[in-house]
């Protein structure tokens, strides 16, 4: 993948795919911590300047037939910015490639490393993995190209950034140089270019507000129904109490009509019953 990224640099540096800055940029900037080339290396003749930004689309364009998938993956991983150098040493027939990709968080950087590893392992020019210690999560790769050029490269993550460092040579003699360069670049890089508390995977979820459906308030319709029920119960209680009072009241004797008689249990009588006046005048 490092060798293919060189073509990205040619496009991005030449201005064919201009860099589109985002609202938040990595700090420090990549150009301040990518290593300068060893003695004897010069800027690649095909580019006018030694450094350049590249976009996610520019990088995706180097993955043959995989542009849409790679572009989607980079966006999902939180690609923010890419920056790289391409140097050559004509006397030694060497090419040195260095680049860094800043992601919004460490999770995105590690996810992209995994994706790039899977892709590179299926390249027809990939031969085997290279091993190294002291640079954290990484993937080393050894290539042999149809031109018989040989490449040894290391991809590694530090903080929220993924780096690519490696050499290509006309001979199989650059593994040690690639290992030393990768370790030096790892040590020279900052711990992160976005603070961990700002990484997407470390974001604290916003406090959920109670939804109206979960609110403990009682619907107006229910309150109205309850009020009507209380009124009905109250009115019924009043009528029931009145009815009971009427049934429990002592009967009041009514005055007898003149000439009426009444039975006292032994005989008919015409005088007024006990407790009642006759209704006649004195």
Residue 119: CATH number of its domain: 3.40.1000
> Quick check: is 147 in a domain?
yes
Number of domains in the chain: 1
> Quick check: is 80 in a domain?
yes
Tell me the per-residue pLDDT of 167-226, one tens digit each, with 9 for 90 and over: 999 999 999 999 999 999 999 999 999 999 999 999 988 766 655 555 455 565 666 666
Location of structure tokens 């300068």: 36
> Quick check: is 247 in a domain?
no
> Quick check: is 269 in a domain?
no
Q: How far apart are CA 125 and CA 103, in angstroms?
A: 28
Classify residue 170 by its DSSP letter. S
Supply 219's token pair: 């619907």
pLDDT band (50, 70, 90) for residue 145: very high
> Quick check: is 279 in a domain?
no
**pTM, whole model, 2 decimals?**
0.67
Residue ranges making up the domain that contains 78: 2-202
Q: Which of helix, strand or coil describes residue 68?
A: helix
């Amino acid at each position: 993948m490092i060798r293919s990224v060189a073509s990205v640099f040619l496009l991005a540096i030449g201005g064919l795919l201009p860099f589109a800055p985002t609202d938040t940029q990595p700090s420090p900037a990549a150009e301040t911590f990518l290593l300068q080339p060893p003695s004897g290396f010069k800027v690649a003749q095909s580019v006018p300047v030694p450094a350049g930004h590249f976009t996610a689309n520019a990088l995706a364009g180097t993955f043959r037939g995989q542009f849409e998938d790679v572009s989607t993956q980079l966006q999902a991983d939180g690609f923010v910015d890419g920056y790289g150098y391409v140097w050559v040493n004509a006397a030694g027939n060497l090419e040195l490639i260095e680049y860094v990709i800043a992601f919004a968080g460490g999770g995105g950087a590690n996810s992209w490393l995994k994706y790039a590893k899977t892709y590179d392992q299926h390249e027809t020019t990939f031969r085997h993995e290279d091993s190294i210690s002291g640079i954290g999560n990484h993937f080393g790769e050894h290539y042999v190209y149809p031109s018989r050029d040989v490449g040894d490269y290391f991809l590694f993550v530090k903080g929220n950034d993924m780096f690519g460092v490696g050499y290509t040579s006309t001979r199989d003699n650059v593994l040690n140089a690639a290992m030393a360069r990768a370790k030096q670049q790892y040590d020279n890089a900052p711990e992160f270019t976005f603070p961990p508390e700002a990484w997407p995977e470390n974001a604290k979820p916003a406090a959920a507000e109670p939804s109206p459906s979960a609110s403990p308030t009682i619907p107006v319709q229910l309150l109205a129904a309850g009020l009507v029920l209380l009124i009905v119960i109250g009115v019924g209680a009043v009528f029931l109490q009145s009815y009971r009072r009427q049934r429990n009241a002592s009967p009041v004797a009514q005055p007898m009509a003149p000439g009426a008689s009444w039975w006292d249990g032994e005989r008919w009588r015409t005088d007024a019953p006990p407790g009642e006046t006759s209704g006649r005048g004195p």
